[in-house]
Amino acid sequence: MIDFILGLGMAVEMFTNGSGISADFARWLYARRVRVVLKMNTFDPALQDRLAGRQGAAGLIASALERLKAAGYPSDEAFLAISTIICRPNLPELPHLWCWLRDQASRPISKSLPPRAVPTRTRGFPWIRHLRGVFETLCQIDRERYGRVWEIQPPLVGNRCLRHQFSCLVTASGNVTPCVGVTLPLGNIRTQTLQQIIQTSPVLEDLRNYRQTIKGTCRNCEKADGCYGCRGAAYQITGDYLASDPLCWRCHAS
Ligand code: SF4
Ligand code: SF4
């Protein structure tokens, strides 16, 4: 599949939990300059296994990282990132994890996720304060230690999601959804072409034109030209993919 995509002149970015990254496969990926994003949430093996829901997950990640490094990752030509969710159990070690990744030239990607058991209306929800604190701490570390300046806004630390301008998700069974968070089925590529689905989906149309369709605080926010928060969080927490991002602290200012 990777060779097929490369043959179409497109770049490949592969998100992986580390399964199947043998030494040979790591070298194969490096030779094709595949961008690799490895999922790792903590240094604590027991916690990693628990967060991944699978015993041995931490060992898989550690082996994959070792093999990718032996193959030449990360380098100027071969991008390696570590993707981390921000959740209550890993909050205390996130600054250390962030610096560890920066120091070895891997790109850290940290993303806020809705915590389990989310109240439907989250005004005053204490998690938002924790979340904002993490963004502020990592922002300060990047500015003072690495000379990287960015503004805090959810859901990605030091970055933003604008995937709905150019992207959708096709699952292994052919179902098409806007992204991993907006799990609304739009069609299936076994019965329609991807082009038909993309061109006729009112949901994708809404998301592409979010400046006209988004609701609440996100609609009038000064950052709205380059931010819509996480549409997945909005959908999973409120049921409305156009609602204001319930995990953004701006939506909870009293
Ligand atoms: S909107 Fe979708 S793609 Fe963007 S950060 Fe949220 S879940 Fe991920
Ligand atoms: S209110 Fe919405 S648009 Fe403004 S920063 Fe928060 S998520 Fe982004």
For ligand 1, say whether the CB of 180 is within 6 Å of any of its atoms. yes
Chain segment 168-200, per-residue pLDDT in tens: 999 999 999 999 999 999 999 999 999 999 999
How distant is the alpha carbon of residue 157 from its chain centre?
10
Q: How many Cα atoms occupy the beta-carbon half-sphere of 235 within 13 Å?
A: 16
**Whether pLDDT at 30 is above 60:** yes
For ligand 1, say whether the CB of 232 is within 6 Å of any of its atoms. yes
The closest-lying atom of ligand 2 relative to the alpha carbon of residue 244 is 2
**Whether pLDDT at 203 is above 60:** yes
Ligand 2 midpoint to CA 2 (Å): 35
Task: Report which protein residue has its CA nearest ligand 1's atom 4.
Answer: 161
Q: Which of 153, 156, 222, 242 to mutate to test the pocket of ligand 2 (most atoms within 8 A of CB)?
A: 153
Chain segment 212-246, per-residue pLDDT in tens: 999 999 999 999 999 999 999 999 999 999 999 99
Which residues have C-beta atoms less than 6 Å from ligand 2? 153-154, 217-218, 221, 223-224, 227-229, 244-245, 248, 250-251
- pLDDT value, residue 251: 84
- pLDDT value, residue 253: 67
What are the φ/ψ torsions at residue 18 (nearest 5 degrees)? 100, -15
- pLDDT value, residue 120: 39
Ligand 1 midpoint to CA 85 (Å): 12
Cis preceding linkage at 155, omega within 30: yes
For the chain, the straight-line distance linking the first and the last C-alpha, in angstroms and rounded, comes to 50
- pLDDT value, residue 113: 57
Chain segment 60-103, per-residue pLDDT in tens: 999 999 999 999 999 988 999 999 988 889 999 999 999 999 99
The closest-lying atom of ligand 2 relative to the alpha carbon of residue 248 is 6
8 Å CB contact between 89 and 224: no
What pTM was computed for the model? 0.85
Torsion angle of alpha carbons 75, 153, 151, 215, nearest 10°?
130
Chain segment 40-61, per-residue pLDDT in tens: 999 999 999 999 999 999 999 9
Ligand 2 midpoint to CA 156 (Å): 12
For ligand 1, say whether the CB of 179 is within 6 Å of any of its atoms. yes
What are the φ/ψ torsions at residue 10 (nearest 5 degrees)? -105, 155
Chain segment 104-146, per-residue pLDDT in tens: 877 777 776 544 434 334 444 677 888 899 999 999 999 999 9
* Arithmetic mean of pLDDT over the chain: 90
Task: Report which protein residue has its CA nearest ligand 2's atom 6.
Answer: 248
Ligand 2 midpoint to CA 228 (Å): 6
Chain segment 145-161, per-residue pLDDT in tens: 999 999 998 888 988 89
